[in-house]
Structure 1
Amino acid sequence: MSTEQELQIGKVVKSHGIRGEVVVELSTDDPDIRFAIGEVLNGKQAGKEHSLTIDAARMHQGRLLVKFAEVPDRTAADSLRGTRFFAAPLEDEDDEDGFYDHELESLRVIHEGEDIGEVTGVMHGPAGEILEVRLTSGKETLIPFVHAIVPEVDLEEGTATITPPEGLLDL
């Protein structure tokens, strides 16, 4: 199982109850597809790899609870803590403006025609995504990933053009 071409879709946070359910922190927009009954998930944990079949999945108090066929009890569920699940990207031709984190990371950041830095990461917050950028000066800055500030992303050229409000880059 290779995670190089795959995206992380979730991570086991902890066990839940005594029947082997686990709480999964989602990192996918499509949990109904990714965590459907019968799906086999590829998991990786501290160098170990797991293939786990979903027996049941349900939302409980805003979190996803998953029961795997291979996990009979709480002890087995506890052993999965920290397991990260990976899957191939879903093809969604209607989402032309959407980007995966790995597509944004390493983009050169262009402001007024000049290369001012590189995207080093993407943070996901309740108000949206934020680009972590290392400026050519060596300083780190955060740039909200909204169309008004990042009007153009060119994956072929490897650039993200920004039009930041005054003062954003002065921090």
Structure 2
Amino acid sequence: MNAGPAHATPPAGVAYQVPGKLTLESLRWHQGKIIAQFEGVHDRNIAEALRGVMLQVDSAEIPAPDDPDEFNDHQLAGLSVVDLDGVELGKVDRIDHAPSSDLIVLKKAAGGTALIPFVSAMVPTVDLAAGRIVVDLPEGLLDL
């Protein structure tokens, strides 16, 4: 069933079908949650129909940053994290973006997770080609 353009409210009793592609116009925080505004979705009922929709982005379409010291999150996920001696500590599960600095969420080789501040003092080397991140961590950081 064709629901028509995204900006039109479907007639009563007709279910709205989520389009295959949505274009993000803006994001904003409201009461601890992100509110996304999509192109052509300017009606509350249509917006409610989008609640819970899983959004995916083709990472191949995202250009790499111009700055060699910046990375897209998807470039880092899954990389090995090693200490200065080359001992593997685990793998990057994801990057969390905190107010003071980004955090590497490390899935530890021994089990569990740890947070590593993504700052040059603790993360001197990111080698995408080798698939690894070298860290220089203060003693006990991974035990927190």
Matched, 1:154 2:127: yes
Q: CA distance change for structure 1 residues 95 and 49 in 2, over 3 Å: closer, same or farther? A: farther
Matched, 1:122 2:95: yes
More strand by share: 1
Matched, 1:76 2:46: yes
Q: CA distance change for structure 1 residues 73 and 127 in 2, over 3 Å: closer, same or farther? A: same
The size of the alignment, in residue pairs, is 122
Matched, 1:98 2:70: yes
Identical-pair percentage? 35
**Structure 1 residues 158-169: aligned runs within 5 Å:** 158-169=131-142
Question: Which is higher, the Rg of structure 1 or of structure 2?
Answer: 2
1:49-106 CA-partner distances (Å, limit 9, x unpaired): 533467xx5787887763633x3522112112234263621354x3211111121111
Q: CA distance change for structure 1 residues 164 and 50 in 2, over 3 Å: closer, same or farther? A: same
Unaligned runs of 5+ in 1: 1-18, 21-47
**Following TM superposition, by how much is the alpha carbon of 1:135 offset from its aligned partner in structure 2, in angstroms?**
2.1
Whether the aligned pair in 1 keeps the contact of 2:22 and 2:38 (CA below 8 Å) is: no
Q: Tell me which of the two structures has the higher relative contact order, counting C-alpha pairs closer than 8 angstroms and 6 or more residues apart.
A: 1
Matched, 1:110 2:78: no
Unaligned runs of 5+ in 2: 1-7, 10-17
CA RMSD of aligned residues (A): 3.1
1:84-136 CA-partner distances (Å, limit 9, x unpaired): 263621354x3211111121111111112211211112111112211111222
- What corresponds to 1:66 in structure 2? 37
Normalising by structure 2, what TM-score? 0.67
